[in-house]
């Protein structure tokens, strides 16, 4: 039985509907009861329709996302660059032993005075070093004298720093021996002319792979016997740690530095947490031994490598926080952009909202729709930013010496923040949409 057509109707009308016959008198079968559960399917539907709405306004959506793109990209880029910097600095600082203290002779007063006074004053004695060795929490103490030496072996010669040290220095410097042995207490006590060579020195004087132990080498014209070769440490932060020669401290003092007094005293504490304690003990001990009542007038200065390490790392951390907070501001600005456009969108689509409410959308449905739209905008922006940020950081590392480091946590964080921005700044417009009066909304042109 056809619809709208009387039995008498002979001819076809061009625009008349021609529906299929229906069962009984019902116009459509009844709808089963559905649970109005909001789950994955609602989010899926919402995301699909949000993508569609955003595609309808592609340019506007892109411009809106731009704030988030730049924000997320900048945050990732800044974190990457800061971490690259930190990695470079840490590499340079890895030669430092955090438990090591160095005592320089000379006054600490005035920066100019320090540089000229350091090492030149004759205030530190071997007895000072021996007294320090008796202190608790001190694991090793060695006096140290730095000299520049011209080394000659056969027809080869090499200029490098020659350092006079006591036997405990092996432990302080963390040196392993490849061949032979380190300076012994007997060498030290008797002032033997023996030398321990770094790998670079061996390579240059005897050729790579040679075993020079037992051979003779002249340092500033004085013949020394090679008793050991140090295991290579490699280059750390531009300084070649293997380009060094160690001789007994007494020998260096008598034969190489022209009878000069003790250069420095180096010592190590038993742990990083005791470094401060040991430093105070040493300071008190030396003040007592040198009869100094006022710490301002100390004739020595203690340098703490842990402090150097911490201050450099602290500076880097502060820089990171600064850069990331500047980048975060752009994320917030991006969020405000999203809020602005979502408000415009709600106003523009007032009628659509009215229609949706009229056909049975709950306030929650409308809210979800606009929230998902804001979320999709910010997450899409975030994803583009996640691609652009590392690319920017990578390009920048090509103009600087810092290595390219990408922390997956920073990417995750930036992405999470962009999603959060979407929810936070999308909430108010979505709420406004959900609270629209359907009658007013339907009347809107």
Which spans of this chain sit near other proteins (rule: CB under 8 A)? Answer: 3-6, 8-9, 11, 13, 15-20, 22, 25-31, 34-38, 41-42, 45, 52-53, 56, 351-352, 354-365, 438-439, 442
Strands 244-248 and 194-197: antiparallel
Tokens representing residue 360 in the block:
């049975």
Helix then strand count (H, E) for the chain reads 14, 12
CB 398 within 8 A of CB 391: no
Nearer to other proteins, 36 or 398 (CB): 36
Nearer to other proteins, 209 or 360 (CB): 360
CB atoms within 10 A of CB 44: 11
Nearer to other proteins, 55 or 398 (CB): 55
CB atoms within 10 A of CB 402: 19
Query: Cα(343)–Cα(324) distance, rounded to whole angstroms?
Result: 29
Strands 100-105 and 264-269: antiparallel
Query: Cα(367)–Cα(344) distance, rounded to whole angstroms?
Result: 15
Q: In the bound complex, what is the minimum distance in angstroms from residue 419's beta carbon to other proteins?
A: 24
Q: In the bound complex, what is the minimum distance in angstroms from residue 329's beta carbon to other proteins?
A: 36
Q: In the bound complex, what is the minimum distance in angstroms from residue 27's beta carbon to other proteins?
A: 5
Nearer to other proteins, 223 or 363 (CB): 363
The stretches of 94-147 forming alpha helices (DSSP H) are: 111-117, 126-133
Where b means 16+ CB within 10 Å and e means fewer, 303-338 reads bbbbeebeebeeebeeebeebbeebbebbeebbebb
Q: In the bound complex, what is the minimum distance in angstroms from residue 383's beta carbon to other proteins?
A: 24
Nearer to other proteins, 30 or 221 (CB): 30
Nearer to other proteins, 4 or 333 (CB): 4
Q: In the bound complex, what is the minimum distance in angstroms from residue 8's beta carbon to other proteins?
A: 7
Q: In the bound complex, what is the minimum distance in angstroms from residue 341's beta carbon to other proteins?
A: 18
The one-character DSSP state at 22 is -
Q: In the bound complex, what is the minimum distance in angstroms from residue 23's beta carbon to other proteins?
A: 11
CB 144 within 8 A of CB 264: yes
CB 194 within 8 A of CB 187: yes
Q: In the bound complex, what is the minimum distance in angstroms from residue 1's beta carbon to other proteins?
A: 11
Nearer to other proteins, 140 or 357 (CB): 357
| Strand, helix or coil for residue 264 | strand
Nearer to other proteins, 56 or 409 (CB): 56
């Amino acid at each position: 039985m056809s619809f709208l057509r009387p039995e008498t109707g002979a001819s076809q009308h061009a625009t008349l509907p021609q529906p299929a016959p229906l069962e009984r008198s019902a116009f459509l079968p009844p709808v089963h009861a559905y649970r109005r559960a909001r789950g994955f399917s609602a989010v899926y539907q919402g995301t699909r329709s949000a993508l569609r709405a955003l595609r309808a306004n592609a340019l506007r959506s892109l411009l809106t996302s731009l704030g988030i793109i730049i924000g997320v990209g900048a945050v990732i880029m800044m974190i990457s660059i800061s971490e690259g910097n930190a990695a470079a600095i840490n590499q340079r600082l890895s030669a430092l032993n955090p438990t090591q203290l160095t005592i320089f002779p000379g006054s600490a007063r005035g920066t100019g005075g320090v540089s000229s006074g350091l090492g030149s004053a004759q205030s530190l004695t071997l007895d000072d070093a021996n007294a320090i060795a008796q202190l608790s929490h001190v694991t090793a103490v060695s006096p140290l004298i730095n000299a520049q030496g011209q080394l000659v072996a056969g027809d080869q010669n090499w200029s490098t720093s020659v350092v006079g040290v006591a036997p405990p220095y092996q432990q302080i410097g963390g040196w392993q021996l490849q061949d032979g042995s380190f300076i012994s207490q007997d060498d030290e006590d008797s002032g033997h002319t023996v030398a321990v060579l770094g790998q670079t020195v061996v390579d240059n004087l005897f050729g790579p792979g040679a075993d020079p132990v037992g051979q003779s080498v002249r340092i500033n014209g004085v013949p020394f016997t090679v008793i050991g070769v140090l295991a290579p440490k490699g280059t750390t932060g531009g300084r070649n740690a293997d380009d060094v020669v160690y001789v007994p401290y007494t020998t260096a003092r008598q034969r190489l530095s022209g009878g000069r007094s003790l250069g420095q005293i180096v010592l190590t504490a038993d742990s990083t947490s005791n470094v401060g304690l040991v430093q105070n003990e040493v300071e008190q001990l030396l003040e007592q031994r040198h009869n100094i009542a006022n710490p301002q007038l100390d004739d020595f200065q203690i340098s703490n490598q842990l402090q150097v390490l911490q201050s450099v790392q602290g500076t880097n951390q502060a820089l990171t926080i600064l850069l990331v907070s500047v980048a975060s501001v752009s994320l917030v600005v991006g969020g405000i952009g999203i809020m602005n456009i979502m408000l415009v969108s709600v106003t523009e689509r007032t009628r659509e909202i009215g229609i949706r409410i009229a056909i049975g959308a709950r306030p929650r449905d409308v809210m979800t729709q606009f929230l998902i739209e804001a979320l999709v905008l910010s997450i899409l922006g975030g994803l583009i930013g996640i691609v652009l940020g590392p690319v920017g950081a990578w390009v920048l590392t090509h103009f600087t010496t810092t290595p390219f480091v990408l922390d997956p946590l920073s990417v995750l964080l930036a992405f999470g923040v962009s999603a959060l921005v979407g929810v936070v700044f999308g909430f108010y417009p979505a709420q406004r949409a959900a609270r629209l009066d359907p009658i007013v909304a339907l009347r809107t042109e």
